[in-house]
Structure 1
Amino acid sequence: MHGSLKRILTGAGFLSLTLVVAVAGYRLSGWSMLDSIYMVVITVFGVGFGEIGPMSPQLRIFTMFVIIAGCTSVGYIFGGFFQMITEGEINRALGARRMTKEIKTLKQHVIICGYGRIGQILARQMIDAKQPFVIIDNNLGRIETAEAMGYLVRLGNATDEGILESAGIENAKVLATVLPDDAANVFITLTARGLNPNLIIMARGEYPSTEKKLRQAGADHVVLPAEIGALRMSHIITHPAALNFLDATVDGSSLNELLSQIDVQVDELAVPSGSPLVGSSISAVQVRGKGTFIVVALRQASGDTIVNPSHEVLLEEGDTVIVMGHKGDIPKFAHHYDLKRQMRWGARG
């Protein structure tokens, strides 16, 4: 783009010089200022009305040079404009092709439907967590803003199966639909669930009555921003001391970092095929841990999550045990029983 602009400026400068020299030449030949300017204009721009004054052989040769110089400079200017347009189109095409190719290589990524206020916050959090993601929005301005941030984007309606497929939904791990339109979120959830039955779907709801519809459509988690805000305000009123403590951690460290300072962390331990823990009860897992951690939740292979599971619950292949304990002991336990650590909170370094 810089080269094309330089070309336009060069052509404009040369054209200006040609016009000045041409007018001066006709003036030196005895023509009036108006006749000189008129002759230069019809000569350079190829109107061809014919000479309007006496033309000596020398003046005819001068006029031919004016024609050549004027046409060349004008052509140079138009060439610069054409180059600028072409470069822009080529760059956009190459950028879209690169983005499409990069999206196709993504695995276990997140798809964010909607780049409004919530979508922007969610995108920043994904960047902080180094989690790959793709943004879908049907607003060109918002998409250009997201693209300027270096995000992978798709312009279009997320209710369209083709748009979701172009965002790599078949290989995605999570889809978050955060549009302010409940009906659109329900339709997106329904469409996404049909395209990827194993996808974790998080949906935004503006009204509490929408939660049931979103879950029926296939949403795993429903977030109601208005309800969260109301709960936050009620907690400020009823539990100000506790909230002051939690808010104080934001300036220095998060609550998870606070846990890490006392060597405590929360970990997700996936139970793979062939693990000796397959068929074991929750109580047996805690016994084998020798008191170094407690089981706080169990996410079953079916996708259901049990908070504070009963000691009699048996582990199955594909389950994920969520435990809390000393951060130095959990990795040893996971290694001993061939468990895959998927996520950590409260651990740094």
Structure 2
Amino acid sequence: MQSSPGKPHQQRTNMSTLQNKALSLGIDVAVLRCVLILLGIVTFGTWGFWVTETDWTLWRSLYFTLITITTVGYGDQGLSETGQKFAAIMLLGGIGGFTYSITNLVQLTVNRDQAQARKLLRKTMDWESHVIVCGYGRMGQSICEQLRSGGKDCVVIEDDQEYYELAMENGFPAVHGCASEDESLVAAGIKRANSVITAVTNDAENMYAVVSARDLNPECSIISRAESASAARKMERAGATFVVLPHMMAGESVASAVLHPRLTSAMQSSNNPDDRLTLGEAVVEEGSELLEKTVMEYGKQAGDLVFVAVEREDGQLFMRPRGDQTFEVGDVVICAGRQEDVQAIREVAGGAVAV
């Protein structure tokens, strides 16, 4: 009997989940052990000094225990001979136990953060056609949030420790390293990614990242950031699919707000994001409800959706498609409308969003 193709993959996933749980459980048990050792040392010391020094209160016994195991050393506080013997025992055993517990608690805290990072990154091993975002600065953060809201998985590559930790806190799997290094791209799953976005503020690093990504995955789409037109031309020659110049796009947006205020208001109004005019695209897949339907037939049930263009799989582009034009497998449907209408046609088309 032939085994199912997905079975080994499922077994690997289950094994990975068990390893994550075992690691988390191991850390929790170790933390509990350290806390119990500390409590035991403090309790034993407090009780011992309270018994040996009959005129001491519990608070004074606790205080002297703490200054003994932390080696602060505020004097012997007038210990009796029996108390001195007990203090010697605390110095020999208590300080060692205290140091061991504190050191391990610090190490376990670091390990917990590293384990969480590995756990987030490990789940990307099952991803296909995800997006790699190089750089988690202001632009990178905005890109990641937009991708997540659009249902697209993404992995961050960030060299700066602060931004790397921020990406992890925001729930994005991240690789701590330089985006221009092959090792970082491989760790982010470049072989399985369908898009790479280089959003670092340094043109040279973006250039190296484009070259490395194109070499490791010749089929993926690469969108790069550039600070100058000359850098943009070089990145295109290096293999970038599309190059974005942030200052130029910002200038165009500001000019558009002056020249076309009503259009800008409709596209960027913040009063109700769901009512904004949104441009979107969807890929018609095999088995989609759109197949063999005409633009007019779907348009009757699509609310206020407007069909801007349809691009065939062979590259033929139909601007303002006719009402009697039918949808075919591989069509990229470009449309405009409210967010819910654009999302609806994506789902009907098969749930695939062209990137």
Q: Secondary structure at the match of 2:174?
A: strand
Aligned length: 292
Instruction: Give 2:270's aligned residue.
Output: 250
> Which residue, out of 278, 289, 308, partners 2:319?
308
Instruction: State the 1:341 CA deviation.
Output: 5.1
Instruction: State the 1:205 CA deviation.
Output: 1.3
Instruction: Give 1:280's aligned residue.
Output: none
AA partner of residue 128 (structure 2): K
Contact 1:15–1:70 (CA under 8 A) maintained in structure 2: no
**In 2 relative to 1, CA 130–5 (structure 1 residues): closer, same or farther, beyond 3 Å?**
farther
Instruction: State the 1:74 CA deviation.
Output: 1.4
Instruction: Give 1:31's aligned residue.
Output: none
The CA deviation string for residues 35-75 of structure 1, in whole angstroms up to 9 with x for no partner, is xx9xx99xx99xxxxxxxxxxxx94x665433223323212
- 1:77-88 residue pairs with structure 2 within 5 A? 77-88=98-109
- Gaps spanning 5+ residues in structure 2: where? 1-27, 55-63, 72-79, 300-305
Instruction: State the 1:152 CA deviation.
Output: 0.6
Give the Cα separation in 2 of the matches to 1:305 and 1:82: 66
Instruction: Give 1:222's aligned residue.
Output: 243
Instruction: Give 1:105's aligned residue.
Output: 126
Instruction: State the 1:77 CA deviation.
Output: 0.7
> Which residue, out of 132, 136, 144, partners 2:165?
144
**In 2 relative to 1, CA 306–5 (structure 1 residues): closer, same or farther, beyond 3 Å?**
farther
Q: Secondary structure at the match of 2:227?
A: coil
| Structure 2 residue 226 is matched with structure 1 residue 212 | no
> Which residue, out of 249, 254, 270, partners 2:284?
270
Instruction: Give 1:297's aligned residue.
Output: 309
| Structure 2 residue 349 is matched with structure 1 residue 342 | no
| Structure 2 residue 129 is matched with structure 1 residue 115 | no
Contact 1:271–1:320 (CA under 8 A) maintained in structure 2: no
Pairwise CA RMSD: 4.5
Give the Cα separation in 2 of the matches to 1:300 and 1:191: 31
Instruction: State the 1:16 CA deviation.
Output: 7.2
> Which residue, out of 203, 207, 210, partners 1:186?
207
**In 2 relative to 1, CA 324–138 (structure 1 residues): closer, same or farther, beyond 3 Å?**
closer
AA partner of residue 296 (structure 1): V
TM-score after normalising by structure 2: 0.65
- Gaps spanning 5+ residues in structure 1: where? 26-36, 46-57, 260-264, 278-284, 345-349
The CA deviation string for residues 131-166 of structure 1, in whole angstroms up to 9 with x for no partner, is 221110111111112112222110001111111011
Identity of aligned residues (%): 22
Q: Which moved more, 1:288-297 or 1:203-212?
A: 288-297
Give the structure with higher Rg (CA).
Answer: 1
AA partner of residue 270 (structure 2): V
Instruction: Give 2:180's aligned residue.
Output: 159
Instruction: Give 2:221's aligned residue.
Output: 200
Q: Secondary structure at the match of 1:170?
A: coil
Q: Which moved more, 1:163-172 or 1:204-213?
A: 204-213
**In 2 relative to 1, CA 229–6 (structure 1 residues): closer, same or farther, beyond 3 Å?**
farther
Give the Cα separation in 1 of the matches to 2:226 and 2:192: 25
Q: Secondary structure at the match of 2:152?
A: coil
